Structure 1
Amino acid sequence: MFHGNVSLEIAEGLKLLRKRINAANIPPSKLDETLNIATWNIREFGKKKRSDAAIHYIAEIIGQFDFVGLVELRDNLSDLNRILPILGPYWDAVYSDAIPDAGGNRERICYIYDSRTVRFNGMAAEASPPRKKRGTEYLSAESWWRAPYVASFKSGNFDFLAFTTHVRWGDDLAARQSEIQGLANWVGAKIKEKHAEDKDIIVMGDFNIPSRNDPMFAAITSTGLELPHALIADDFGTNLARNKRYDQILHLARYPDNFTNAGGVLDFYASDHKPLFPDLDKRAFTYELSDHLPLWIQINTDIDGIMLDQIIQRKQR
């Protein structure tokens, strides 16, 4: 991390933030062995210039991971470009275009990653609803407010497809559930493609699903997506009150065992924002950091042993 010669206030804030980060018990990643992945809705990042303190705190949070899917990055990338130098010259980003209408909220989705541990594999695209021919045109019958962003990456000998989305909010719960079902159908169809880029799909982002008991969660898991074991153990939330799991990390995996290492929430808020931003109320604080907490998992990327075990098991049958 390259925080440089920061002010006394920022230095003290970073020390406190590191204590809160340590409480999340995020294990260090090991090159070519493990990968720490997170998803974080960073609340309209780029709509209004963040303070210097917020930029350093956000960089410190992102730097705990190797790969982060950011939701609610806005069209203005100035603040993103302030964060990258603090993270270091080996960090990079791949992001979608902004959607300029009200439903799109001028949002982008961004993958920000440590290139020492993760390599971009070359494929990046927005996921589009399936189309059907109507007359001479090919049209979609479904509507997604914000198209998911899909990109291929490699860590060690583990190739994966990252799929990140920000599902509609609004008052129409049936429409939200329908959108979520459409996303699940897209992922289910993708994994069956003959020439699919990767057979491991990691799905993450802000699904606006209030709980795992909600029909919306049944919809997103209806085509085979599963919670990693590490995220099943605790019914924690990703909002500041820790009582709603709006954000999710799910997977369709060739080797599910490599998704069981560790996982959880990084609670930078800890029920008290004042030590980090003493002059702000809680709402203003959420526009400096966020009203969502990062959700994370650690993945075992050294899959040679798993592959050999499967070969032996097939031989023994």
Structure 2
Amino acid sequence: MNYEGITTEIARGLLELRARIAQAKIPSSKLDETLNIATWNVREFGRKPRTKTALYYIAEILRQFDLIGLQEVRDNLGDLNRVLEILGPDWHAVYSDAMTDAGGNRERIAYVYDRRAVAFTGLAAQAQPPRTKRGMEYLSDISWWRRPYMVSFHSGNFDFVCISAHIRWGNSERDRLPEIEALADWVYAKAQEKDADGKDLIVMGDFNVPSEKSPLFQALTARGLRVPDKLLRSTFGSNLEKNKRYDQILQMPEYPESFTNAGGVLDFYQGDHTPLFPRLTKQAMTYQLSDHLPLWVQINTNTEEHTLRALAEG
């Protein structure tokens, strides 16, 4: 972290934030053995410039992980670039183009990663829904307001693809169901591709799922995506009140041992924002940090034994 020029107030706030982060009990990742991957909807990130305090807090949260998928990144990347400067030269980002119509809300998706642990391997694309030929055209029946964004990475010998989405809110839960069903089907089909860039898939984002009992959650997990047990508990939530399941992070592992069942939520709010932003209302605070909490999982990247067993069997 680059602490050059921070004020006494920012330093004190960072110490408070670190104490809150410690309570999340995020296990350390180990080079060539495990990765900590997170997802975070950072409210309207880039719509209006954030304060220096907020940028340091965001950087402090991001640095707890090796790779983070960010939703609600806006077309202006100024604040994202400033966060990367705070994190230092080992941190990079890859991001989608902004969707400039009303459905897209001028949003893009970004992945921020520590290149000491993770390497970008070349694939970066919006999800392409299945098409059928109609006359002289190839058209799709799926309408994603904001197309999911996938990027390929590797860590050691472990290759994987992250897929991040921000599902529409709509007028009701029913409006969200077709997009979620289509995404679950698309992820399953991607995992079956013979020449896929990585068959271990990490799916994350803001799905606007109210609870684990919702038909939306059932649709999302119907095709094999797995969720750590801790993120299935009814007491868990990703909003500040921790009573809604809007955000999700799931895995479709190529090797069973890559799924560790470890995951959780990082609660930077803890019912009181004033130690971090003493002069802001709660509402104003959500536009500096967010109204969503980051979720994380730890995955096992050491699949050498699986590879050796397969080779030994011929």
Q: Same fold (TM over 0.5)?
A: yes
Match of 2:64 in 1: 64
Q: Residues 211 and 234 of structure 2 are in contact (CA less than 8 Å); yes or no, is this contact kept in structure 1?
A: no
Q: Residues 169 and 175 of structure 2 are in contact (CA less than 8 Å); yes or no, is this contact kept in structure 1?
A: no
Match of 2:191 in 1: 191
Task: Give a deviation string over 1:11-70, Cα, whole Å, max 9, x none.
Answer: 110000000000001112111111110000000000000000000000000011010000
SS for the counterpart of 1:250 is: strand
Q: Which amino acid aligns with 2:88?
A: G
Match of 1:122 in 2: 122
Q: Which amino acid aligns with 2:117?
A: T
| Deviation larger for 90-99 or 226-235 | 226-235
SS for the counterpart of 1:68 is: strand
Structure-to-structure mapping, 1:45-84, within 5 angstroms: 45-84=45-84
How far 1:81 sits from its partner (Å)? 0.7
- Normalised to the residue count of structure 1, the TM-score between the two structures is 0.95
Match of 1:177 in 2: 177
**Alpha-carbon distance in structure 1 between the residues aligned to 2:183 and 2:75:** 24
Q: Residues 229 and 259 of structure 1 are in contact (CA less than 8 Å); yes or no, is this contact kept in structure 2?
A: no
Structure-to-structure mapping, 1:11-90, within 5 angstroms: 11-90=11-90
**Alpha-carbon distance in structure 1 between the residues aligned to 2:268 and 2:82:** 20
- Normalised to the residue count of structure 2, the TM-score between the two structures is 0.96
**Alpha-carbon distance in structure 2 between the residues aligned to 1:199 and 1:35:** 16
Q: Residues 125 and 149 of structure 2 are in contact (CA less than 8 Å); yes or no, is this contact kept in structure 1?
A: yes
**Alpha-carbon distance in structure 2 between the residues aligned to 1:121 and 1:144:** 26
Task: Give a deviation string over 1:102-151, Cα, whole Å, max 9, x none.
Answer: 11000000010000000001011000221111111111112111000001
**Alpha-carbon distance in structure 1 between the residues aligned to 2:137 and 2:114:** 42
Gap runs ≥5 in structure 2: none
How far 1:195 sits from its partner (Å)? 1.5
Q: Residues 38 and 67 of structure 1 are in contact (CA less than 8 Å); yes or no, is this contact kept in structure 2?
A: yes
**Alpha-carbon distance in structure 2 between the residues aligned to 1:228 and 1:254:** 16
Structure-to-structure mapping, 1:263-302, within 5 angstroms: 263-302=263-302
Determine whether 1:204 maps to 2:184.
Answer: no
Give the paired residue count. 314
| Deviation larger for 162-171 or 230-239 | 230-239
**Alpha-carbon distance in structure 2 between the residues aligned to 1:156 and 1:173:** 40
Q: Residues 2 and 88 of structure 1 are in contact (CA less than 8 Å); yes or no, is this contact kept in structure 2?
A: yes
Task: Give a deviation string over 1:187-241, Cα, whole Å, max 9, x none.
Answer: 1111112211111011000000011110011111122212134534674111000
| Deviation larger for 218-227 or 145-154 | 218-227
Match of 1:133 in 2: 133
| Deviation larger for 300-309 or 260-269 | 300-309
Q: Which amino acid aligns with 2:120?
A: F
**Alpha-carbon distance in structure 2 between the residues aligned to 1:257 and 1:31:** 17
SS for the counterpart of 2:283 is: helix
| Deviation larger for 122-131 or 53-62 | 122-131
Match of 1:239 in 2: 239
Q: Residues 228 and 251 of structure 1 are in contact (CA less than 8 Å); yes or no, is this contact kept in structure 2?
A: no
**Alpha-carbon distance in structure 2 between the residues aligned to 1:91 and 1:140:** 37
Q: Residues 100 and 106 of structure 1 are in contact (CA less than 8 Å); yes or no, is this contact kept in structure 2?
A: yes
Q: Residues 212 and 234 of structure 2 are in contact (CA less than 8 Å); yes or no, is this contact kept in structure 1?
A: no
| Deviation larger for 143-152 or 189-198 | 189-198
Gap runs ≥5 in structure 1: none
Task: Give a deviation string over 1:63-100, Cα, whole Å, max 9, x none.
Answer: 11010000000000000010001111010000000000
Q: Residues 162 and 203 of structure 1 are in contact (CA less than 8 Å); yes or no, is this contact kept in structure 2?
A: yes
Percent identity of paired positions between Structure 1 and Structure 2: 61
**Alpha-carbon distance in structure 2 between the residues aligned to 1:177 and 1:201:** 21
**Alpha-carbon distance in structure 1 between the residues aligned to 2:94 and 2:175:** 29
Q: Which amino acid aligns with 1:167?
A: I
SS for the counterpart of 1:227 is: coil
SS for the counterpart of 2:147 is: coil
Task: Give a deviation string over 1:232-290, Cα, whole Å, max 9, x none.
Answer: 46741110001111111111112233221521001110100011111111110000000
SS for the counterpart of 2:122 is: strand
Match of 1:142 in 2: 142
**Alpha-carbon distance in structure 1 between the residues aligned to 2:52 and 2:58:** 10
